[in-house]
Each structure stands twice: as C-alpha cells, then as structure tokens.
Structure 1
Amino acid sequence: MTLQFTYLKVKQAMQSKQIKEPKLWKSYDEQLEILKSRGLQIDDEKNALGYLRSIGYYRLSGYFYSFRQFDPQNPNSRLDRFITDTRFGDVKSLYMFDKKLRQLALDALERIEVALRVNIAHTLGQYDPLSYKDNKYFTSGFNHAEWMNRHDNLVEREKKTGFITHHLEHYIDLPIWVACEVWDFGTMSMMYKGMLNKDKDRIAKLYRLKDGKHLQTHLHAFNFIRNVSAHYSRLWNRDITFKASLKGLSDAEWKSFPINKPFVYFCLMKRMLDIICPRTEWGSRLLALLDEFPDVANEAVSLRDMGLENNPRN
C-alpha cells in the first residue's frame, strides 16, 4: 500500500465523517471548566487543577467515564454529562484505588514470575543445561525460532550485566537457570506454552492444577494484567482479553466469578502465592485494599464492576 493511497483513504474517511480532526488543545483551566460544565462537582479547584497538571485529563478520562450518564438511546454508550452528585473527589479516590491495585498486582506477579522461571529451568535443565536451545524439548507447533530471537534480544540487552558477562566470558553459553533471569513475563509464558505436555503438567501439579493447559491460560491472563499494570493503565474494571480456565478448581465458588473481570485473577494470584509463599500476607493486603474502594453517594461505581458480587471477607 503506497503512502499516497493511504493518504487518499484517510482523506476520504475524514470527508465522510468516519474520522474526525484531533480535538483542540485546552489549558488546564479550560479543562476544569469543561468538567464543571458537564456537571462534575469540584469542591477544591486548586486541588483538581493539581491533578490535571500531574496526571493529565486524558488519563483521568478513563475514570471519568464510569461516572458519565448512560445514553437513553443507546445503553452501551455514555453521554458527556456526569451522573448527578458526581464529585471530583470520587474520581480521584477511584484513581488512587486503581493505582494501589496495579501495585498489588505487580507485587504478586513478580513473585509468580520468579517462581515459574525456577520451575521451568529446573524441569528443562534436567535434560540439558542448554535445553532451551533445542526444539526437541518443545511441541511441534511451537515457533522455537521466534522464541529464540526474543530470548537473544533480551540477552543482548542485558549483556553488560555482571552475571551474563561472567558466563559469556567463561562458558560456551548460558545454562537455562542463568538464561531465565533475563526473561520477561511474556517470554516465560511463551516458553511454557511451547513445552511438552508432560513437562507442563509436572509444573502445573506444583500449583495443584489439573494439567499444564490450565496453568497456561492463567499465565496468559496474568501477562495481560501485568502489561496493563506496568503501563499504568486502568485495571480495576478492565475487560480481561485472555480468559483463564477455571476447570479443575475444587471450590464451587470459582464458578460464580465473572471470568472477564479482574477480581477472579486476583484470586488466582492469591491461590498461587499461598503455595509459593505460604506465610504471605498478600491476601490480607488485597482485602484491606478492597475495603478502601470509594463509597460514592450516587453509586456510579462499585466492586461489582471489578467482578465481585458479595463482600470478599464473607
């Protein structure tokens, strides 16, 4: 597709009103006036301006959205107008809750990632220290070359790190228990997906799961949540694109959780952490954070939007 053809297509789309011109730049004071004109109650304008300056209107708009009125002509759409009795403080509290939720997710996923690196390295390392370089230890459908390219790029990025430099200078290559230290969550998850079923199952059973296919779906969902959290994006009511399988989990209550909302994945994180770190207080920290969810007068938002139907302490 030529650049000229692309330009013509964009121009035609703009002329047919499919694509709009970018919105005009607004000063912070103008942004505040827009919010007030749409019905947002602002008790402390100086404080609100501070948030617009430090966080930005666009990032906050993801939190404003939940407080906007539904379009009576289209229940799947929202109007610009805020629901009656929406206060800037409500939006600020929701933003801070979500920030803490992301931090809690990253804390859990760091521990899960480190533990799974060890599990994978220990399982494959028994065959050969360089097993990760040999496609015979992976399924036929696994794109081993693509994974190796990703791995090599990570090694190159970290080649000046002490332990990488040491091994490259004194050994012919990195054994898997060293190589795994440069993997990110996505690279680790991708490798696990490509492992032979018997090896995946062996690791899954460490976490009291039926088989490796179930753990694989958990890791895909965790990777999505990690990426959302690491990029400081809205998490609390996010639709989870990669849905985990809950089959084989003994507690019938699992079936009551919406699989497309975050709460069930925090429960899965807790389940794994209780095995990895039996004395962890992460679950208590999660419950304490849920208690901090903003109690807004107009009930525009609630923990149901996160996937909870009842009080998690019950």
Structure 2
Amino acid sequence: MPIYAKPHLSLSDQVRHLSAQGLDCDPEASSIEALHDYGYYRLTAYTYPFRRLLLPSEPKDSAYQFRADDYLPGARLSEAAELARFDHGLRDKLFDGIAALELALRFQIAHVLGKRNPFGHTDQASLDGRACAEPAPHRVRARFASMFDFWIDEYGKLIDRAGGEDFIRHVRAKYQGEVPVWIAVETFDFGGLARLYSLLERYDQNLIARRFGMSDGRQFHQWLVGLGVIRNHCAHHNRLWNRQLPHALAKIPPLTVKPDLHHLSNVAHRRKLYGWISVLAYTLRNYDNTSNWFRTIKTQLGKFPASNFVSLSVDVGFPAGWDGESLWNGAPSATRTLPTPV
C-alpha cells in the first residue's frame, strides 16, 4: 500500500490543479475565495458528480473509486460553491426543525412518564421489562448486562455533564440527589431522549407517538433514531446533499399515519433525505398545527441550484411532483390546538 505523498498546495495552486483537470475555475478570484471558505476537500465533494464516470475497463485506485479525475465539459467550480451554500441553508433549516421536535419530545416524555412515576426514568418497574432486558449495544456489551444498565450509565453522564447548572445543584442538594423526570429531561440530548423513549412501556410509547400523528410507537422510535443521525450531521456541519444515510426509512403502514404521509410508500431512495425531511415535517405539523416549518423547508428546497449534473430527484431522493403533495401545501392554522389533553 503506497504512502500518501501528495504535496501541500497554495490556494492558487489548487485552482491551477482543478483547472488542469478540466474544471472551469473562472473567475480565479472567486474560486480562491470559495476554496478558502470551504476547504479543498469539502468543496470538491460537491464537484464529484461533475467528474466523468470510470469505464469498466479503466483501472481504479481503490474499490471505492467510481469516477475519473477529469471533469465533464461545462463543469464549473462556481456551481459547486452554489451547491455548498444551498446545503448550508438546508442544514440550518433541518436543525431548526429537529430542535423543535426535541423540545416537544422532552415535554412529552416528562409528562407521560412522570404521570406513571416521577422517577420512572431510573426505575425499571416503570419501564418496559422486555426492552430493558435487551442486550446492551455490542460495543459496550462487555460492560453492561442490559439496555437498562447501559441507560442508567448514560443518564448518569448526562446529569453529571449538567452538574454545574444551578437547577441541578439545587435539586440534588435538597432532595438527596434524586431528580424527577420533568427536570432530568432538561439535561438530555436528542440521543438520550430517543434512548429513554425506546425503554418506555408500549402504551406510553404509543401515547406519545400519537401526539405526533403516528400510532405505532416502535416505528416512531425508528424515526427518532434516523432524525438523530441527521441532527448530528447538521450539528457538525457535514454535507447532507447527496448523502446516503445509515438508516433506511422503513415502509410506513397506511393505517398508522394520516394521508399526508401515504405518498412515501412510493419513494424509492429510502436512505436519502426526502423521506426523513417528510416525516419531520409531518410530525411538526401534527404536533403544532400552527407550525410553519414545512413551508420554510419547502422554500429552501426551491433554492436548489439549476444544474446539468445534479438534481433533487437523483441526489436527494425527491420524487416527481413532491411539492404538489398535501404534506407541503395548505396553511398553518391561526389557532393553536394542543396535542396533549389539558
């Protein structure tokens, strides 16, 4: 295996290198600015579809190489920069939407589990026995006998991480260290919320899921896991466009959701963004009938740059006519209807 020996290149040298491969880098000043703002490897990830596909007879440097080094006629670095700017806006809008879901989920878990037991998040008797007894994730199985044991350790870390907060110090000092679930959830990240949700009684899972328009609590948990991955990509400024996600969106039985989501049964690219954006829009619209997020994200998607090399359908998994679906149309209600009985 060869040792990596490519030299460091100045920004001007990077422009000359890309130009030699057939990428239009005019005007040079704008290309240098784009390379400065995004970095060579981040920006060239957006130019990758502009490169020529390797012929079957051509040699590959590795099993993961599918395109040649040279660019197709008409490929421009400025188009890649425009695509990167679109992706930046998409991450911002998605992060806002998932943040709204996270806050709603905090309340719902605290409200539903807290009614069963204020300390139900640390009491196995208040959770689903079968889920708690499941083996811990393989990477930590040697340390934890069960998912419940793994959760208790994770919960302790979340509380300790927030230990400097006055409200945690106060509750711990006054109540001998016990923290009720409606306070504890304020220390949870999205992954912690999804983990605790997975351990809830099936009745509690379904009750919470119905608040978001889904009658199957287990499938709602799958949505949370998939959206959690997207949230992390957003938080770390990773590319979302043209990304194959690790979790495929499972088929959704029509009886478990309202008709707004039925069109997902025909979506072919279930590891791409469209399906996941759709379930996020659906949950937010069902939870808060005044939510405008579905229109915000639709507006951002309308900014996808015109191109001969990339498209929403191929690269992000959007079906033809997606913007005509009922999920993306209509207007938010002027009057809020709370999803939880008062």
- Give me the TM-score of the superposition, normalised by structure 1: 0.89
Q: What is the correspondence of 1:142-291 to structure 2 with a 5 Å cutoff?
A: 143-172=147-176, 173-245=178-250, 246-247=252-253, 248-251=256-259, 252-257=262-267, 258-291=269-302
1:95 is matched with which residue? 84
1:3 is matched with which residue? none
1:250 deviates by 4.6
Tell me the alpha carbon deviations over residues 198-246 of structure 1, each in whole angstroms, 9 at most, x when there is no partner. 2211111222223111101101110111111111111022112112332
1:63 deviates by 0.9
1:171 deviates by 2.1
CA contact (8 A) 2:249 2:275 kept: no
1:309 is matched with which residue? 319
1:74 deviates by 7.3
- With a CA cutoff of 8 Å and minimum separation of 6, indicate the structure with the bigger relative contact order: 1
Cα distance change of structure 1 residues 74 and 219 upon mapping to structure 2, 3 Å threshold: farther
Q: Percent identity?
A: 27
1:78 is matched with which residue? 67
Structure 1 unaligned regions, length at least 5? 1-13
Give the Cα–Cα distance (whole angstroms) in 2 for the partners of residues 121 and 289 of structure 1: 33
Tell me the alpha carbon deviations over residues 42-64 of structure 1, each in whole angstroms, 9 at most, x when there is no partner. 22211211221222111112212
Matched, 1:125 2:110: no
Tell me the alpha carbon deviations over residues 261-303 of structure 1, each in whole angstroms, 9 at most, x when there is no partner. 101111111101112221122111112111110102xx11001
1:249 deviates by 3.5
Aligned-partner SS, 1:313: helix
Give the Cα–Cα distance (whole angstroms) in 2 for the partners of residues 310 and 286 of structure 1: 17
1:295 is matched with which residue? 306
Cα distance change of structure 1 residues 190 and 23 upon mapping to structure 2, 3 Å threshold: farther
CA contact (8 A) 1:214 1:244 kept: no
Structure 2 unaligned regions, length at least 5? 59-64, 135-145, 325-342
- Give me the TM-score of the superposition, normalised by structure 2: 0.82
CA contact (8 A) 2:95 2:235 kept: yes
1:10 is matched with which residue? none
Letter in 1 for 2:22: G
CA contact (8 A) 1:94 1:293 kept: yes
In angstroms, what is the RMSD of aligned CA positions? 1.8
Tell me the alpha carbon deviations over residues 4-33 of structure 1, each in whole angstroms, 9 at most, x when there is no partner. xxxxxxxxxx3xx5xx42532222111111
Letter in 2 for 1:231: H
Tell me the alpha carbon deviations over residues 129-184 of structure 1, each in whole angstroms, 9 at most, x when there is no partner. 11111122232215112112122112212111222222122223211011111111
2:20 is matched with which residue? 37
